Chains A and B, each alone.
Chain A
Amino acid sequence: MNFANLFRIALKALSNNKFRGFLTMLGIIIGVGSVITMLAIGQGSKKSIQAEISEMGSNMIMVSPGAERRGGVRMSRDDVQTLKVKDFEDIRDNCKYVTLASPTVNASGQAVYGANNTPTSVYGVTQDYLDIRGYKVKDGDVFSDQDIHTSAKVCVVGQTVVDVLFPNGEEPVGKVIRFGSIPFRIVGVLESKGTNTMGQDQDDLMFVPYTTVMKRIQAVTYLQGITCSAISEEYTDQAIEEIGEILRENHKLKEGAEDDFNIRSQQELSSMMTSTSDMMSTLLAAVAAISLIVGGIGIMNIMYVSVTERTKEIGLRMSIGAKGRDILSQFLIEATLLSVAGGVIGVILGIVAAYVVKVLLSYPISISTGSIILSFVVCTVIGIFFGWYPARKASNLDPIEALRYE
């Protein structure tokens, strides 16, 4: 008996019981549908986080002062004064694997222009920082090395700040605004970056030379952090090692002494942020997998009923020449058809549901071909696995007994 004939017989048998077939498939439909939707949502949010991060620069490395914080002992970062300007300069000048480096010293306060004012943050940095974080200057220019050298009172402002301080569309470049009591001349305006995944407004800030913040605003001699960029993503580990060596030497740390600084790469941050969405995906997928198994048991159950109901038919088929394996294949194909058809409907419904989520809740979604292929493979396996025992039972029937069955 060839496969096409068996297939036709199985199809015919299923079409004799359409509604029951549909009910049987329901478990699989719901299972596959939810797997597809859940994965689409999980993958979507993960992808958008990753996109955001890589936009920030995937080879970014952040150095912060103080030992790695563990357990409950949490020191305020501002109290730790281990990072100095020399550390930054050494990293910038001596690290082979680091292309860009900028110190960071931040302050928050009120920016004022005329009658308008807004709370905002000032980032004391070098020009490199804008490149590392992917900020571009829309109007005007970044401050110069000379400005850094002289701790000039110049700033590059983000769009949010511009919108508040210059509501009437005046040209901001060249204007002098105040931050606290210090006047800053605006030399450039940033291109808008919008909000990031965590909902932070990335345009609500001002960049000024780090020397200006250190001397004129904070009056400190230490840095809050150093932000660097490795020459490429593959070399982040080497870059981290190099930075560590320089800092340990600068800080005169003895062999075995704990670091008084902390280096983290963007990749770590990225995996930290995606791990939650990964965990959610896994959890949801597990729930969906359980419903698939329940669906499989439904198929098994209905196949058992079907074999009992059709005992006479099986007897007849055997009497006219069906071999045990013909009967086995027929019922296996039936079970597999049920589960794969359920899978197809489930995939379609899952995709539709994912789009509904996207449109109604404006969630980022991403449907991977992988998850669709996986669904089909799983459905086929479920069909064969749960169809096996009933089909086995059918093929082992004695033809005479089966024919006599009422």
Chain B
Amino acid sequence: MDKEVIKLEDIKRDFKVGSEVVHALRGVSFSIMEGEFVTIMGSSGSGKSTLLNTLGCLDTPTSGEYYLDGVAVRTMNKDQRATLRNRKIGFVFQNYNLLAKTTAIENVELPLLYNPKYSKKERYDMSVEALKAVGLGDRLEHKSNQMSGGQMQRVAIARALVNNPAVILADEATGNLDTRTSFEVLVLFQKLHSEGRTIIFVTHNPEIAMYSTRTITLKDGRVISDEYNGKVLDAAEALAALPVEKE
């Protein structure tokens, strides 16, 4: 497991707001190996989302180089980046971003629709597989408005998994969930990690960092600490230890 999935070299991202320039990222460099579970921490406005957008090829840095799975992203055009997102990246958002009035399976299938390689049958099979992996094998035909927040987030995770991406990016993926459901989602991420997936998880919550293998902390657009976690906690145990809610 020493393949470099992500390599950032002095990434800078400036935003022009009126006559002022906001330096959201002021030179960020790090590498992430295949199979790492990284949390990105930092106070509000420190540049976490900007960094994640860059990693997800949604945004291009003002300067610096970014290699995803060995490919230089900065020089790519819009369409190439769209294809790259489709093949190598899975996004999980804080507010799930499922399509309304659409079933779980249709939501999960979405990334595959934009890849002409897959037939209808393959799309269906892969989506069922992904939904089973997040424990929703029995909720295939449920519409997004017929599910709880935790279930919706799991559908979103299944959607991020379905194209078998090089890296899964999550921005505050537990931000809208209660403690219990947060842990359920964390259990899921740990399971995916144990299966060898690379995960980058942006959060405010320092507790969550204890369940990942590495924590990168940002401040004012710079990396102020980058530490490996000697003792990774088990989310399943923590979940079991939670007091059972009264009926």
Chain A residues near B (Cβ < 8 Å): 1-2, 5, 9, 12, 16, 312-313, 315-326, 399-400, 403
Give the complex CA separation of A235 and B101 in angstroms: 70
Evaluate contact between A16 and B82: CB separation under 8 angstroms. Answer: no
Q: How far, in angstroms, from A320 to B89 measured CA to CA in the complex? A: 8
Name the A residues within 8 Å of B59 (CB-CB): 400
Contact partners of B102 in chain A: CB under 8 A: 12
B53 close to A400 (CB less than 8 A): yes
Identify 8 residue pairs between A and B in the complex whose beta-carbon atoms are under 8 Å apart, listed by A's number: A2-B116, A9-B113, A16-B100, A317-B110, A319-B58, A320-B91, A320-B110, A323-B78
Q: Which of B91, B116, B159 contacts A1 (CB 8 A)?
A: B116
* Cα(A312)–Cα(B53), bound, Å: 16
Asked if B124 is at the interface of the complex by the 8 Å CB criterion, the answer is no
Q: Are A318 and B82 in contact, CB atoms less than 8 angstroms apart? A: yes
What residues of chain B lie closer than 8 Å to A12, measured between beta carbons? Answer: 102, 106
CB pair A321–B58 under 8 Å, yes or no, is no
Cross-chain contact of B86 among A321, A325, A400 (Cβ < 8 A): A321
Q: Please, which residue of chain B has its CB at the minimum distance from the CB of A16?
A: B101
The 5 closest A-B pairs by CB, nearest first: A321-B86, A320-B111, A321-B114, A323-B82, A316-B97
Task: Tell me the nearest residue of chain B to A319, going by C-beta.
Answer: B91
Shortest C-beta distance, A336 to chain B (Å), equals 19
Complex formed: what's the CA distance from A9 to B107 in Å?
11
A319-B85, A321-B83, A321-B85 known; A5-B113 Cβ under 8 A: yes
**Alpha-carbon separation in the docked complex, A19 to B85 (Å):** 35
- A321's partner among B53, B99, B115 (CB-CB below 8 A) is B115
**Distance between Cα atoms of A68 and B116 in the complex (Å):** 74
Minimum CB–CB distance for B170 against chain A, Å? 13
Write out the residue numbers on chain B whose beta carbons fall within 8 Å of the beta carbon of A321.
Answer: 82-83, 85-87, 111, 114-115, 163
From B78, B79, B85, B100, contact of A320 by CB (8 A): B85
Complex Cα–Cα for A325 and B97 (A): 21
* A318 to B58 CA separation, bound complex (whole angstroms): 9
Q: Complex Cα distance A16/B79, Å? A: 29
Q: How many chain B residues touch the partner (CB < 8 A)?
A: 27
Q: Are A399 and B83 in contact (CB under 8 A)?
A: no
- What CA separation (Å) do A400 and B113 show in the bound complex? 21
Task: Evaluate contact between B86 and A313: CB separation under 8 angstroms.
Answer: no
B113 in contact with A403 (CB, 8 Å): no
Tell me the residues in window 82-128 of chain B with beta carbons closer than 8 Å to chain A beta carbons: 82-83, 85-87, 91, 93, 97, 99-102, 106, 110-111, 113-116
Residues of B within 8 A of A326 (CB): 114
Complex CA gap A341/B82 in Å reads 32
Chain B residues positioned under 8 Å from A16 (CB to CB): 100-101
Q: Contacts of B221 on A, CB cut-off 8 Å?
A: none
Establish whether residues B99 and A320, one from each chain, have CB atoms under 8 Å apart when the complex forms.
no
The number of A-B residue pairs with CB atoms under 8 Å apart is 59
Residues of B within 8 A of A399 (CB): 58
Whether A403 pairs with B114 at a CB distance below 8 angstroms is no
Q: Which of A16, A317, A321, A326 is packed against the most chain B CB atoms within 10 Å?
A: A321
CA distance A323 to B163 in the complex (A): 16
0 or 1 for each of B52-67: is its CB under 8 Å from A? (1 = yes) = 0100101100000000
Pair B79/A323 contact, Cβ less than 8 Å: yes
For B91, what are the chain A residues with a Cβ–Cβ distance below 8 Å?
Answer: 319-320
**Residues in B neighbouring A316, C-beta threshold 8 A:** 97, 99, 110
Bound form: Cα–Cα A312–B95 in Å: 11
A322 contacts which chain B residues (CB < 8 A)?
82, 114
Q: Could you tell me if B99 and A313 are in contact, using CB atoms closer than 8 angstroms?
A: yes
Q: Nearest B residue to A318 by beta-carbon distance?
A: B82
Query: B58 near A323 (CB under 8 angstroms)?
Result: no
Residues of A within 8 A of B113 (CB): 1, 5, 9
B85 neighbours in A (Cβ, 8 Å): 319-321
CA of A403 to CA of B163, assembled, Å: 20
A148 to B58: give the CA distance in the assembly, Å: 100
Are A320 and B116 CB-contacts (below 8 A) given A312-B97, A400-B58, A400-B59?
Answer: no
Find out whether the CB atom of A1 lies under 8 angstroms from the CB atom of B114.
Answer: yes
Q: Which residue of B lies closest to A321 (CB)?
A: B86
Whole-angstrom distance between the alpha carbons of A275 and B146 in the complex?
64
A142 to chain B, nearest CB (A): 78
CB of A339 to closest CB in B, whole Å: 23
Min CB gap A325→B, angstroms: 8
Q: How far is the CB of A330 from chain B (nearest CB, A)?
A: 10
Expressed in whole angstroms, the Cα–Cα distance for A86 and B114 within the complex equals 87
Question: Would you give the shortest CB distance from B166 to chain A, in whole angstroms?
Answer: 13
Whether B115 and A324, one on each chain, are in contact in the complex, defined by CB atoms closer than 8 angstroms, is no
B78 surroundings in chain A (CB, below 8 A): 323-324
